[in-house]
């Protein structure tokens, strides 16, 4: 599977939709998860692993592209330490392992406002992940920076749900340089990830990029 694509975080809001977008393409895709996934497309392979054990001696299958869609909340993780283990440690580790397995391209779901020097712990962690991944010698690095993600989650995130309900009123107020802070449908982000051009170097994608890719191909 030298040309395979790996999807990490394939049960999340974006990762789940990304799998179905990639399934439409004539390519080999492996969904990596800590648990089984129901209703997985027939042409998507599933690799179930224990993330903690994998950190010690895991080896990824040969691949060309890795999609990292990992993400949680401090409340769900239980502490800032556990949050960083998932969002930073796992993301960077899988990126390094994918590079060792032959990957030359990486697509990372980050967040608008990500900054390694931010005072906000969430945005600081996201920024640190970006910086570490940029140190790995991938040929192509696409960093997706959505704001509030819109869509149905299996888990309930109370504050996020409130934000989703208010987004239709708030989005029109965010204009000009503030457009990138608009809430975005997770399906648009997933579509953009699956169909984004893989140019050499580092590319950041925001609200307008997600919509342009989705609308252009679905008119």
> What is the rounded end-to-end Cα distance, in angstroms, of the chain?
34
Q: What is the CATH number of the domain that holds 136?
A: 3.40.50.720
- Number of structural domains (the chain) is 1
Question: H-helix or E-strand containing 164?
Answer: helix 158-170
- Residue 92: which of 127, 120, 123, 122 has the closest Cα? 127
Ranges 15-29, 83-97, 168-182: which has the least confidence = 168-182
pLDDT for the residue numbered 112? 95
- For the record, the structure tokens of 89 come out as 């440690």
Summarised one tens digit per residue, pLDDT across range 86-113 is 899 999 999 999 999 999 999 999 999 9
| % of the chain with per-residue pLDDT over 70 | 87
- For the record, the structure tokens of 64 come out as 């060309």
> Model-level pTM?
0.88
**What is the pLDDT confidence band of residue 187, given thresholds at 50, 70 and 90?**
very high
Residue-range definition of the domain harbouring residue 10: 5-217
Cβ–Cβ under 8 Å, residues 143 and 110: yes
């Amino acid at each position: 599977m030298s040309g395979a694509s790996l999807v990490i975080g394939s049960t999340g809001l974006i990762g789940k939709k990304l799998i179905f977008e990639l399934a439409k393409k004539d390519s080999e895709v492996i969904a990596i998860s800590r648990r089984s996934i129901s209703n997985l497309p027939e042409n998507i392979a599933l690799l179930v692993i224990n993330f903690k054990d994998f950190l010690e001696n895991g080896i990824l299958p040969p691949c060309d592209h890795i999609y990292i869609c990992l993400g949680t909340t401090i409340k769900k993780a239980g502490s800032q330490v556990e949050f960083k283990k998932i969002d930073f440690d796992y993301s960077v580790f899988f990126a390094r392992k994918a590079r060792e397995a032959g990957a030359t391209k990486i697509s990372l779901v980050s967040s608008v406002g990500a900054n390694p020097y931010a005072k906000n712990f969430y945005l600081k962690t996201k920024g640190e992940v970006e910086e570490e991944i940029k140190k790995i010698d991938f040929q192509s690095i696409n960093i997706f920076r959505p704001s509030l993600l819109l869509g149905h989650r299996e888990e309930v995130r109370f504050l996020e749900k409130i934000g989703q309900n208010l987004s239709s009123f708030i989005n029109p107020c965010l204009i000009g340089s503030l457009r990138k802070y608009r809430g975005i449908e997770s399906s648009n982000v997933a579509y953009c990830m699956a169909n984004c051009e893989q140019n050499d170097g580092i590319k950041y994608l925001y609200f307008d990029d997600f919509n342009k890719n989705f609308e252009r191909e679905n008119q």
